[in-house]
Amino acid sequence: MSTPPQTPEQNQLTDSTEMETLHEHYDKQIQALEAAPSQEGKTRFILKMVNNSEHAFDVSEHSLNLNADILASLQLSDKDVTAFAQDFPYVRKLGSPSKTMYRHFIVFGDQTLGVRVEFGLRVNTSFGVFTPTIKPVRTCKVTSTGSIPIACTARITRALTTDPYSFSMVVTLG
């Protein structure tokens, strides 16, 4: 038996339900990663990508050491959601000066339609009378890079206030 054709309203409802299911799936994974302790000497970074646009985006460039499986999981179809997590070395000795822990980027798309996502962690140290003041500075940025602009936003959704200053961010396209 064949199924009757769906109306545009029914298609939108199906698309909306699928997006909600994707969001729930990745939100649960992200919550589990945020709840799990980082490895000793590591700071955890979590990125959630939400593509609300009608365009697909492949990773075209990055500054990370990613294997083929991770790169494949970062490919964004239209109306898609994905997430990425990585632990970076966090080595900071007591009394050490300000230091960039990591700074990376991922470019999605191409010269026509693309975005550049930048993220990083720098720990600034100022020396007080009795103890140093340590302030984490997180980079959380997305920029439309193609000749056709795309609406994009980035925001930090969770940030630890103590060592190792792990954080999560969400990038929304479209």
**Are the beta carbons of 79 and 36 closer than 8 angstroms?**
no
Give pLDDT tens digits for 94-127: 667 888 999 999 999 999 999 999 999 999 888 7
Q: How far apart are CA 59 and CA 86, in angstroms?
A: 16
What are the backbone dihedrals phi and psi of residue 168, each rounded to the nearest 5 degrees, phi first? -125, 150
Strand partners, 134: 125
Give pLDDT tens digits for 42-91: 999 999 999 999 999 999 999 998 888 888 889 999 999 999 999 999 88
Q: What is the pLDDT of residue 12?
A: 42
Query: Would you list the domain boundaries of the chain?
Result: 8-173
Task: Tell me which of 1.10.40, 1.25.40, 2.60.270, 1.25.10 is the CATH number of domain 8-173.
Answer: 2.60.270
Give pLDDT tens digits for 3-31: 334 333 334 434 678 778 887 888 888 88
In sequence order, which residues have a C-beta less than 8 Å from that of residue 83 and are 6 or more positions away? 26, 29, 30, 46, 47, 48, 49
Mean pLDDT over 143-148 rounds to 94
Q: What is the pLDDT of residue 15?
A: 62
Q: How far apart are CA 116 and CA 145, in angstroms?
A: 7
Residue 132 has pLDDT above 80, yes or no: no
Q: How far apart are CA 64 and CA 124, in angstroms?
A: 23
